[in-house]
Amino acid sequence: MNDYEVIRQIGEGAFGRALLVRDKRAAGDGLCVVKHISFRKMSTREKEASKKEVTLLSKMKHPNIVSFIASFQERGNLYIVMEFCDGGDLMKKINMQRGLLFSEDQVVDWFVQICLGLKHIHDRKILHRDIKAQNIFLTSGGRKAKLGDFGIARMLNNTMEMARTCVGTPYYLSPEICENRPYNNKTDIWGLGCVLYELCCLRHPFEGSSLRQLVSKICRGHFPPVSVQYSHSLRQLVTQLFKTNPRDRPSVSSVLRRPFLEKHISKHVSTQVMQEEYNDLVSPQNRATAAAPKEAKTGRKAAEKTQKARGAGRPGGADGSPSAKPAWRVPFRANTPVLLRPPPQRVGRSAADRRLAGNQ
The binding site for ATP consists of 35
- In this structure, are residues 116 and 256 in contact, taking their beta carbons and an 8 Å threshold? yes
Distance CA(45)–CA(245), nearest Å, equals: 33
Binding residues: 35
Expressed in angstroms, the distance from the first to the final Cα of the chain is 41
- In this structure, are residues 279 and 306 in contact, taking their beta carbons and an 8 Å threshold? yes
Report the DSSP pairing between strands 77-83 and 136-139: unpaired
**Known active-site residue 280:** no
Distance CA(266)–CA(245), nearest Å, equals: 32
Q: At what angle do helices 259-268 and 104-122 cross, to 10 degrees?
A: 70
Q: Please report, as a single letter, which amino acid is at residue 341.
A: R
The CA–CA distances, whole Å, from 19 to 4, 6, 84 equal 10, 7, 10
Per-position b or e across 218-242, b if 16+ CB within 10 A of its CB: bbebebeebeeebeeebeebbeebb
- The residue from 23, 109, 130, 188 that is catalytic is 130
Catalytic sites, residue numbers: 130
